[in-house]
Amino acid sequence: MKKQDKKVQRKRRVRAKMLKSKRHPRLSVFRSNKYISAQIIDDVKGKTLVSFSDRDLPKSKEKKDNVSIAKAVGEALAKEAKSKKITKVVFDRSGYKYHGRVKALAEGAREGGLKF
């Protein structure tokens, strides 16, 4: 089985569980080799409620590692979501394994006040 096939299987498994609970919006993560972004989506209306990327973070003088950048993205996303009165979401890791940057983004969002 190819690496891409395993990712598709993980994505289907995660989405199947999520579709059962349409009460809460979905926090979807996208990760590339260079960037990480997340958005909160209302699947009933089909609209993006809040989105945030590491490109939206303020530029700092010191260079951080990718994991701390991902955590900062999660915290900033949670802050924007709280301003729009969103507190509870369902976490969609989009087939990525839950470790490294994806895990850091989730922990940052939790620390920012989101519940999932």
Give domain limits for the chain. 3-112
What strands, in cross-sheet order, belong to the sheet with 36-42? 47-53, 36-42, 26-31, 90-92
Q: Which of 80, 78, 73 is nearest to 113 (CA)?
A: 78
Q: How many CA atoms lie within 13 A of 33 on its CB side?
A: 0
pLDDT, tens digit (0-9, with 9 covering 90-100), for 2-43 = 888 988 888 888 777 777 667 889 999 999 999 999 999 998
pLDDT, tens digit (0-9, with 9 covering 90-100), for 52-79 = 999 998 887 556 899 999 999 999 999 9
- What tokens appear for 81 in the block? 């979501």
The amino acid present at 73, given as its one-letter code, is V
The predicted pLDDT at position 21 comes to: 64
The predicted pLDDT at position 44 comes to: 84
**CB–CB of 108/75 below 8 Å?**
yes
Rg of the chain taking only CA atoms, in angstroms: 14
Write down the number of H helices and E strands in the chain: 3, 4
The predicted pLDDT at position 59 comes to: 82
Burial per residue of 21-34, b for 16 or more beta-carbon CB atoms within 10 angstroms, e otherwise: eeebbbbbbebeee
pTM for the whole thing? 0.85
The CATH class that applies to domain 3-112 reads alpha beta
More confident residue, 7 or 114: 114
